Amino acid sequence: MSDLRGKTCLISAGAQGIGLASVRGFAKAGARVIATDINEEKLAELDGLDNVSTRVLDVTSAEKVSALHREIGEVDILFNCAGVVHAGTILDSTEEEMDVALELNVKSMVRMIKTFLPGMLAKGDGAIINMASVVSSVTGAPNRFVYGTSKAAVIGLTKAVAADYVDRGIRCNAICPGTVDTPSLHERLAATGDYDRAMAAFVARQPLGRLGTAEEVAELAVYLAGATYTTGHIHVIDGGWAM
């Protein structure tokens, strides 16, 4: 595991799922973690964790992101983990769904990076990790048009940021998970009306025969924060789905 002692890590969507596992993973690696989430009630459950402080944050608000920056100052590691999943084909999709997905899955990352990157540049060092998905430019999935489109954009912005600042000490990478066992997944399964059938279908598309865990993705995020010779790449963790 990376030794992140002395580093400050800012994580969005840190109250549950991959975000929560990452909060715990970064703290275990020695980082001072600032966990943010829009869900104040769930965020309160992190109170008392060593090396962890919490802030309520709506990453779709430029004003609130700026206010957070003024409060906490600069960070060494930024993990953009917030996102949303929409179901449906291009013909099922709506303008509103596309706007919501691009706002939360893409523009929020741009907003966070633009806010905290200057401080990293001033120090000549920084790690940015963006949550993409294997459903993106890596592979297509049925009924994930809006989601896959937005996550492909995350890969593009990741590579662009990495290319622009590779010679100034900044590393920017993207994580592309397959299907991960998280609370939000179970909500989507329940919404299908046939939980067991949907779960079986999700497991079946993972050649390793199981879903990923939030902790496995968190371990990759912690690794990337300390991987000083890795930048501009997508890191697939999908149980063999896209091989």
Catalytic residues: 147
> Are 128 and 170 within 8 A, CB to CB?
yes
Q: Which residue has the tokens 């789905």?
A: 241
> Are 75 and 6 within 8 A, CB to CB?
no
Burial of 62 (0-12, 13-18, 19+ CB in 10 A): middle
Q: CB 210: neighbour CB atoms within 10 A?
A: 10
Taking the CA atoms of residue 176, residue 116, residue 96 and residue 190 in that order, the dihedral angle to the nearest 10 degrees is 50
Q: Which residue has the tokens 């999908």?
A: 238
Nearest residue to 130 (alpha-carbon basis) of 84, 175, 191, 89: 175
Write the CA distances from 168 to 109, 128, 163, integer angstroms.
20, 13, 10
> Are 236 and 36 within 8 A, CB to CB?
no
> Are 35 and 51 within 8 A, CB to CB?
no
Sheet holding 52-56, edge to edge: 52-56, 32-37, 8-11, 77-80, 126-131, 170-177, 234-237
